[in-house]
Amino acid sequence: MSRRSNGDDYQHPGYGSGPAAGGHFTDGPDRSGRGHRVAIGLVTALLIALIGGAVAAWAYDDARGDEIAAGIEIGGVDVGGLTADQARHRLDNALIAPLRRPVHITYRQQSWTLPANELNVRGGVDRAVEQALDASRETSLPGRVWRYVSGGSVDTEFTPNLKYSKPAVTEFIKEVAAAINQDPVDASVDASSGSLVVVEAQNGVKLRDRLLTEQVEAMVTDASLPRTVRARTMVSKPAVPTSAVADSYPVYLTLDRANFELKLWENLELTKTYIVAVGQVGLDTPAGLYSIQNKVVDPAWHVPNSDWAGDLAGQVIPGGVEENPLKERWMGIYDGAGIHGTSETGSLGSAASHGCVRMAIPDVIELYDQVPVGTPIYIA
């Protein structure tokens, strides 16, 4: 007789045998391997798409590696979207070529020209283009690609470092200054007529060279400015104006050799006339404008080595002795000639000395105290 199982060892058709004691049962077909393969496929496809996109983005960006971003200007010239060579060409035409022209300066009826070849204008275009390219590539690759496709821009401006020959400009300004500048003339006196005549002061002219240099340098580097500029000047005042000329000549001496008169002027007014003796023919008192160089009381006499000196030639005769013809006072004028007192009063009013101006002793003492060293003396 057969026995039915209580279910512990029952086998359901279509299913495998149950596991041994302590095992587990499966409840259907195993699908885990297929799902895993699908996930890997999706990830792989995504990676391929991403890599492909990155490669495409890199290639697109690399193709535009020599292109300047939109919105960039150099010296006010739009170079956005241009290659480096195109930008250089545009900048040379727009910035440099217009500067290769001569510069002109005018003043009244005069004019001067600084040739373009001496200016030697050249621009830092290459450096500015490199800066523009660097600015175009500062953002990340995704940022650049997005800028390309979205039409974005890099709003930046660079200034090219324009150069020129500064020594040429300096020499040019010096040339203009030499032609324009006029030194002022101090007021003075003219004694050639025997009287003191005031010669009026004259203003000078001084080129405003710093201003002109700035104007020329601006023209050299800015094509929008005209290439001709008018020089400006200023008045240079004399050190001694006409109103102060008398103060400049508180004491003045004039000697009229023909009339044997020595005149003392104070503040350009005649105050005293003295009768004197002057150099004889061949030993003339020197003519011209001189000044009192030195003053001595009881001067020694350094006898010249001349034939007329006889046995005294070359000797030094002390002051105050009978043999010394230089009496009481001495006022040196020029090369051994001077004004001194004399005991030979009969020679006054004649050409009798060996080049000096002789005066009566009381007169020379009086004059000595009124004439300081440096006093001008005009000998006619």
User: In this structure, what CATH number is given to the domain that contains residue 353?
Assistant: 2.40.440.10
Averaged pLDDT for residues 113-118: 95
Q: Are 300 and 316 in contact (CB under 8 A)?
A: yes
Instruction: Convert the pLDDT of each residue in 278-313 to its tens digit.
Output: 999 988 999 999 999 999 999 998 887 877 777 778
Residue ranges making up the domain that contains 288 = 249-379
Alpha-carbon distance of 153 to 146, in angstroms, equals 11
According to DSSP, residue 239 is labeled S
Which residues have C-beta within 8 Å of that of residue 220, sequence separation ≥ 6? Answer: 99, 103, 119, 121, 162, 164, 169
Q: Is 234 helix (H, G, I), strand (E, B) or coil?
A: strand
Whether residue 317 is contained in a domain is answered as yes
Task: Give me the chain's average pLDDT, please.
Answer: 85
Look at residue 284 and tell me if it is in a domain. yes
pLDDT bucket at 224, cuts 50 / 70 / 90: confident
pLDDT band at 10; cut points 50, 70, 90: very low
Tell me whether residue 355 is in a domain: yes
Rounded Cα–Cα distance for residues 36 and 261 (Å): 138
Q: Are 142 and 57 in contact (CB under 8 A)?
A: yes
* pLDDT above 70 for 40: no
pTM of the model: 0.59
Task: Confirm whether 260 is domain-assigned.
Answer: yes
Query: Residue 160: inside a domain, yes or no?
Result: no
The mean pLDDT of 240-251, rounded to a whole number, is 93
- 163 domain-assigned: no
| Cα(95)–Cα(161) distance, integer angstroms | 11
Give which of 92, 269, 108, 128 is closest to 176, Cα–Cα.
Answer: 108
The whole-number pLDDT of residue 158 equals 92
Q: What DSSP letter does each residue of 99-165 carry, written as one string?
A: G-S-EEEEETTEEEEE-HHHH--B--HHHHHHHHHHHHT-S-HHHHHHHHHHT----EEE----B--
Task: Supply the pLDDT for residue 56.
Answer: 62
| Number of domains comprising the chain | 1
Taking the C-alpha atoms of residue 162 and residue 127, their distance in angstroms, rounded to an integer, is 11
What is the spatial order of strands in the sheet that 327-334 belongs to? 294-297, 327-334, 337-342, 357-360
% of the chain surpassing 70 pLDDT = 83
